[in-house]
Every structure is written in structure tokens, then in C-alpha cells.
Amino acid sequence: MIPEFGHYALILALCVAIIQGVLPLLGAHQGRREWILLARPAAQSVFLLLAIAFFNLGWSFYTNDFSVLYVAEHSNSQMPLIYRLGAVWGGHEGSLLLWVFLLSTWTFLVAQLSKSLDEFMVARVIGVLGLVLTGLLLFVLLTSNPFERLLPAAQDGRSLNPLLQDPGLVFHPPMLYMGYVGFSVAFAFAIASLLSGRLDAAWARWSRPWATAAWVFLTLGIALGSWWAYYELGWGGWWFWDPVENASFIPWLVGTALLHSLAVTEKRGGFKSWTVLLAITAFSLSLLGTFLVRSGVLTSVHAFATDPKRGIFILIFLVLVVGSSLTLYAWRAPKSTLGGKFSLTSRETFILLGNVFLVVSAASVLLGTLYPLLIDALHLGKISVGPPYFNSVFVPIMVPLLVLMGIGPWTSWKNSDLLAVIKRLWIAALAAVIAAVLIPFVMGEFTWLSSLGFLLAFWVIASGVMQIIRQAKIGKATRSFMGMQCAHFGITVFVIGVTMVGAYQEEKDVRMLAGESVTVGGYQIQLQGVSAVPGPNYKAMQGTFLLSRNGTLEATMYPEKRSYFSSTMPMTEAAINVGLTRDIYVSLGEELDDKAWAVRVYYKPFVDWIWAGCLLMGLGGVLAMSDKRYRMKLRKAAV
Amino acid sequence: MKAKFLIPLLLFMVLVGFLAVGLNRDPQEIPSPLVGKQAPAFELPQLADPKKNFSPESMKGQPWILNVWASWCVACREEHPVLVELGKLQVAPIIGLDYKDKREDAMTMLALQGNPYLLSAFDANGRVGIDYGVYGVPETYVIDKAGVIRFKHIGPITMAVLNQKILPLLGELK
């Protein structure tokens, strides 16, 4: 009965979502207060109903109810409990349920935290979210019902793809989806303000913390995914420009542009129509990402079930949501007023420039991702676009962006004395040049590319440090200022990590017998032996390696090669010795003849800085959101 | 309504057009003009030993499989274990076409993940790939005794494709 309850809750949620999507919007349009007041209770009920549905699916996994098709396909009784629960979103149907559940969670939060906002605005925002929710719930119920029964029930389940049986699965999708879906709130605020014709600074003030929260989740979600790929897939890379990775990265780039543009709209009333467009675009790209992943129009390592019926449904949904939003935009945005005037040397100009670079980079990634599809649709053949395209197009756009990041925060709104700023920044420039020369020298090899990476990173760091000192002196180091600096430092830490790994990583593939050793990056790795070890739902060959440096033992490492009972494919479980300035990565390959093993070892300097940088970015977002001055302003504006 | 505010909508409409067309085309399975035709001839150095050459001519008289792969290709790694399984079955020789790759990277991948190939031809600049109309890596061709391409699969071969298409076809061709 439990799955039926879940199914029933899902259907009820659809009914209430329709009410949530229609009545408050009509009420706000016609000024009918009783309909406006429906918005909050409707949002709360949908949240409750979807929580029940979600919990029931989780229960079916927990109790190994293999009469539910989705459970039978993605779980089996031997799987550890944590992965059985993670498997709730390990497949298509469940991950969509997660999507709608999180959307209703965001809506619920809006309903709870908007007590001080104008009732009309709240009704419109919740109404727009209700419409989006309705479309997605229809999608779930009509094409991807997770509660479908399998009669007679299966003896045991088919199990989850071994690649997904990892703690990464438990955290990565919810985090990523929180970000994806979170842009729906900024989107709903934008649509609500277009509908009301009140495209003003207050709107930006309201949506800013929501957009920041979504951005934080997306940042952390992408970072988790990248880290997961790094340690689980056993290839030692951290980003593959896979279509699905890109699908999450493109909204991130646009979302980053949105955060900056929102600042201008809030503080100066400028860029209104541009900010609205970014808010619409960020969410549209999240939907497009869902379409790309779920419809199977692109081949990808992530492509799960592909079913053209689903693709058509999402495409129609996409057309309705994005098409109507952009039509509304074309109709209403021209009426928005211009903000305060600003000169070429103002902060507005720098943010605009940064925005242009971010949007261009997002467009170039989008083009690369869709290019195979475009070429195919034009009957020009089929091609695949690989990392070389993305690296050669994307990286150069980031160079001017980092240069701007060192100057932009120094400028003031409206107009600033750029000459004075540049005069002050010579110290930062000097520090950057010294770092650019010195670090490659210390690392033992000079390459222009790595030197450029350090130059840019230290340029931003030095400029940031100088600015923090200045702001602290005059007592103006507010949380939102520190949040901005923290996020920018995150970028530099990330850039340092990428540069170090790109230029100085060492990789060796060797054939090893027990007792033999190999040297990478000044470390000796010795194979002790390989033995068979059992796992809960797999058996593994486990290697024992001694990691030492200059004769002192630092760690013992145990890479595994697993064969899951449910799958024919062996899985590589690399062993990673993590350090602040380097990772040592050992993965066990095939058993060769006469007891020798193929072994791959990596020395990856500063690789963890890549994810540490992302963490700092996320932390910066959290700091900015928690700014007291900012929250007081929010309340004042709402009265 | 100012025209410039319509630009986003127009761009989106163009995108939707492409997506709609793309949806009706399966990226995995496209009828190839090559199916039913003679496999294009070529002569390439072998991966393991650049001094030796390989030409499809030498495979005449038995059905064989041509698999286009590369060490940089993520999907190929996914496919690799399936190929290793297929290799163990010994139903037909598998020839690799290592596409736009670096020799040492390719050798490494085979050493680490197992080598299902009788041998691999090394197509450094992708010239042969063009003759075969390679859309993306991996791709797999089944070629019969007379050197005619009988089947082409784009994207990684899964166990299902192997069991339902490739193995029955090889059975027929024997």
C-alpha cells in the first residue's frame, strides 16, 4: 500500500499545484484578496504532499519492495542501506521526483520567509512556481512514475550501476538539483515583477539572497560531482567537458553573471531588463539541462534511460515556460526605466564587462555542447566536440575576467578615478609578476601557461588583500564585502589548483611485481602485494602499496579492482593519499602475466585546491547572504 | 515593443527548432551509407609496432569487427569491458582503429584495461576515420568475409547490443 499512498500523494500534489499556479496569479491580476491568500497554504500543502511521496519511495527502497518497478531496477537486497537510499535518486524517475520535491521545498521556503513582502508580489511568485511545478508533476505522472508496480514482484532487484554506489551519489545530485531548481525562485521573482510592471530596485533586493543561495548550492553541487569523478572513476581527471557536466556549468556561469547584475540593480537601479533576462536565462538553462540529460538527444556518460516520448514532453514544457517568459519579457521589459547614469570608469562598467565575458563563455560552452546536435539537425553529419575545443575557447575568456576581478572591486559606483586605482594597484601587479616568475621556478619548470595562471591568481589575491586591509581600517569590512572577497579568493585558489595540476602533474603507468617500486614527484611507491578481499555485494582484488618520501614511510595505500555480482564490468577503486600540496593517486589495472600488475600512479600537485576553491566560493555566497545591514535593508524595503 | 527585446525569444525559437529535429534522430544508431558497401581500403601503421602496417585487405575470408576507439574518449572506457568480454568469446577478430590519439596514451590504456584487439591500426590524423564517416568515438563495424560492412553502431556497445545484434549477426556470417 505504501507505494500507492505515494502515488496518491503525487496526484493530490498535482491538483493542489494547479490551484497554486492559477488562482493566486488571477487573484493578483484582478485584485481578489481571497485568491491571493491561497498562495501560501497551497505551497505548504504541495510541499507536504511531495514530502510524503518522496518518503514513501524511500520507504520502498528501505524495505526492499521489489514489486515496485523502479526499486527493482535500481536496488537489490545486498546493497548497503546508504546506497539503497541514495538509489532513490539514482535513476530517471526518482531523480525527477527529487527535482519536483526540491522545487516545492524552495516554494515552501519562499512562502515561509516572505512574511514582510508585498502580498501581491508573493502571490505572483508562488503562482509562477506553481505553474512550473504543475508542468513537472504532469511529466512525472504521465511519463516517469516512480511508483509503477512490477507484478509479479521480482525476487531481487537488478542493483544500481556500480559507478553510482558511492557516497558521492548520496550528496551530489541533491546538492546540484538544489542549485538548478533554486534558480526558479529568482526566475519567479523576475516574472512576477514583469507581470506587475514593478521592475524596480526592490525586486532585485528581494531576489538577491535567493539567487545567491541557489548559486551556492550549484557551486557546491558541481564541485562535489567533479570530486566524485576524480576519485571514483579512476581516471584521475577532474573535469571532462561532458554534456551533462556542461549542462550544470552553463547555468552556473549565467547565475554568476546574474549575481553581479543584481548588485547593480539593487544598488543603482541599473541594468533592470538585463538582470531580468539573466534570471530568466539561468532557469531556462537549468530546464534545458534537464532536457538534454533526460531526453537522450546527446550521448553522454551520464545518459540514463532515453525515451523520445519524455524528450517531446520536456521540449513542449520548455517551449511553454521559456517561450512565454521571453514573450512577456519582450512585451514588458521595454517599459522599464533606466537606472542612474554611470561613466566608463564606474563599477557598473566593470560589472557589465564581467557580465559580458561570463555570458560569452556560457554561450561558447553551450555552443560546444549543442554543436553535434546542430550539425546533425542540418544533415551535415555527426561529430563530437571534445575537451580541446572547450579548453581553447573557454580558457582565453577567463583571462580578461580575472584581470577585471583585480580592478573591479576598487572602483566606486557611478564614477571613479581609475587612474588613482591603477596607481594604487602597482603593488598588486608587482606581487603578481614576482609570483609568476618565482613559482614556476620553484616547481622546477617554467611554462608560459602556468606563469600566466599564477600571474592572474596572485593579481587578484594581492588586490583583494590590499582592499581588505583598506576596508578594515575604515571599518567597512561588512559581511557582504567579505563574502565577495571570499568568493573571489575561491576563484584564485581554484585557478592555482588548475594551473598546478595542468603544468606539474606526473603520471606513470608501470608493470609491477610485488616488491618493486616506482617514483613520482619525489615519492616512492612500493607494491607489497595483491590479495582478494570480499565486499558486501562485490569481490575485490586489493593492492597494498607503501608510500614513502626520502626513505620515510608516509602512508599505506589500498587501491582495489572490484567486480560487482550484478555487473560484468570491473570497477577501479583508486587509492588516494590526500595532502595540502599534493595528492598521490594509485590505481590498480589488469593483472598481467606471471603475477605482475599494471599500475597507474599520479602525482597531482595542489589538486585539492580546485575543490577547496569551490568551497570558498560557496562560503563567500553564504557570508554575503548573512549580511546584517543587508537583511535590515530587506525589511525596511518591504514595509 | 522594441525589436531588440525580441532577440532572446527569436534565439530561443531557433534553438527549439534544432532540439525538435534532434529529438527525432537517435544519436546512437544512424543508418550509415556505408552499410552494404565495401569497407574502405586503407593502410596504416600498427599501434604496437609502427614498422608493421595493417590493411583491411588482410582480413578477407573471415568476418571481423572494426572498433574505432581512443584513449581520450570517455565513452570508450565505458565500452571497453564489453569488448574485452567479446574478445574472450573468440567469435571474430576485433581490430581497433585508434583514432586521433597519442601512441603512449593508447598503449597505456590497453595495458591497464586489457587488450581485446588482435591489433590496432593507428590513425594519428583521423584520415581513415573520415573515409569511414566516423561521427564520434567509439564506433563499431561488423565486416563480412567479402569485406562488406554489414552493421555499424555509433556510441559504446552495451551487453544488450552485443547479445541482440552483433553476436547473432556474426553467427549468420560464419
Tell which residue, A271, A460, A256, A255, has the closest CA to residue A347.
A271
Mean pLDDT of the A12-32 span = 95
Residue B23 to residue A308, Cβ atoms within 8 A? yes
Q: Nearest chain A residue to B4 by CA: give it.
A: A330
Residues contacting residue A86 through CB under 8 Å, at least 6 positions apart: A160, A164, A169, A170
Residue A117 CA to residue A137 CA, distance in Å, equals 28
Angle at A287 between CA A286 and CA A290, to 5 degrees: 90
Residue B71 CA to residue A341 CA, distance in Å, equals 55
- Interval A518-560: pLDDT, tens: 999 889 999 999 998 988 888 888 999 999 998 899 999 999 8
Distance (Å) from the C-alpha of residue B66 to the closest C-alpha of chain A?
19
- Interval A49-74: pLDDT, tens: 999 999 999 999 999 988 898 888 88
Q: What Å distances lie between residue A485 and A466, A489, A559, B95, CA to CA?
A: 11, 6, 39, 55
Of the pLDDT bands very low, low, confident and very high (cuts 50, 70, 90), residue A567 is: low
Res B57: pLDDT: 86
Residue A558 CA to residue A540 CA, distance in Å, equals 11
Q: Decide if pLDDT at A250 tops 90.
A: yes
A338 touches chain B (CB under 8 A): no
B90 touches chain A (CB under 8 A): no
Residue B93 CA to residue B26 CA, distance in Å, equals 28
Average pLDDT of chain A?
Answer: 88
Cell of A603: 602525482
Complex ipTM over 0.85:
no
Of the pLDDT bands very low, low, confident and very high (cuts 50, 70, 90), residue A398 is: very high
Res B82: pLDDT: 87
B41 touches chain A (CB under 8 A): no
Of B5, B9, B30, the CB nearest to A382: B30
Give the orientation angle of helix A272-295 with respect to helix A347-377, to 10 degrees.
Answer: 30
- Residue A42 has a CB neighbour count (10 Å cut-off) of 24
Contact A244, A292 (CB under 8 A): yes
Q: Which of A245, A285, A318, A326 to mutate to test the interface with B (most CBs of B within 10 A)?
A: A326
Q: What Å distances lie between residue A603 and A441, A443, A564, A613, CA to CA?
A: 18, 13, 29, 20
Is A589 strand, coil or helix? Answer: strand
Q: Which of B1, B2, B5 to mutate to test the interface with A (most CBs of A within 10 A)?
A: B5
Residues contacting residue A298 through CB under 8 Å, at least 6 positions apart: A243, A292, A369, A370, A372, A373, B27
Res A302: pLDDT: 45
More confident residue, A456 or B17: A456
Of the pLDDT bands very low, low, confident and very high (cuts 50, 70, 90), residue A583 is: very high
DSSP letter at A444 equals T
Of B19, B21, B136, the CB nearest to A383: B136
- Interval B73-100: pLDDT, tens: 777 877 888 898 888 888 889 999 998 8
- Set of chain B residues whose Cβ sits within 8 Å of the Cβ of A295: 23
Contact A18, A134 (CB under 8 A): yes
Residue A567 CA to residue A546 CA, distance in Å, equals 31
- Interval A263-274: pLDDT, tens: 999 888 888 889
Percent of chain A with pLDDT over 90: 52
Cell of A1: 500500500
Residue B22 to residue A297, Cβ atoms within 8 A? yes
Distance (Å) from the C-alpha of residue B126 to the closest C-alpha of chain A?
13
Lookup result for grid cell 521489489: A66
* A508 strand-pairing partners: A601
Cell of A600: 597507474
Q: Decide if pLDDT at A141 tops 80.
A: yes
Prediction pTM value: 0.82
Cell of A563: 567486480
Mean pLDDT of the A577-588 span = 90
- Interval A163-204: pLDDT, tens: 677 787 788 889 999 998 999 999 999 999 999 888 888 888
Q: Across the A/B interface, how many CB contacts are shorter than 8 Å?
A: 112
- Set of chain A residues whose Cβ sits within 8 Å of the Cβ of B135: 381-384
DSSP letter at A264 equals H
DSSP class per residue in A481-537: HHHHHHHHHHHHHHHHHHHHHHHH-EEEEEEE-TT-EEEETTEEEEEEEEEEEE-SS
Percent of chain B with pLDDT over 90: 11
DSSP letter at A233 equals S
- Set of chain B residues whose Cβ sits within 8 Å of the Cβ of A570: 81
Q: Decide if pLDDT at A128 tops 90.
A: yes
Q: Where are the alpha helices (DSSP H) in A144-271?
A: 167-196, 201-232, 243-268
* A603 strand-pairing partners: A506, A584
Cell of A63: 524495505
Q: Which of B2, B6, B10, B12 to mutate to test the interface with A (most CBs of A within 10 A)?
A: B12
Of the pLDDT bands very low, low, confident and very high (cuts 50, 70, 90), residue A97 is: very high
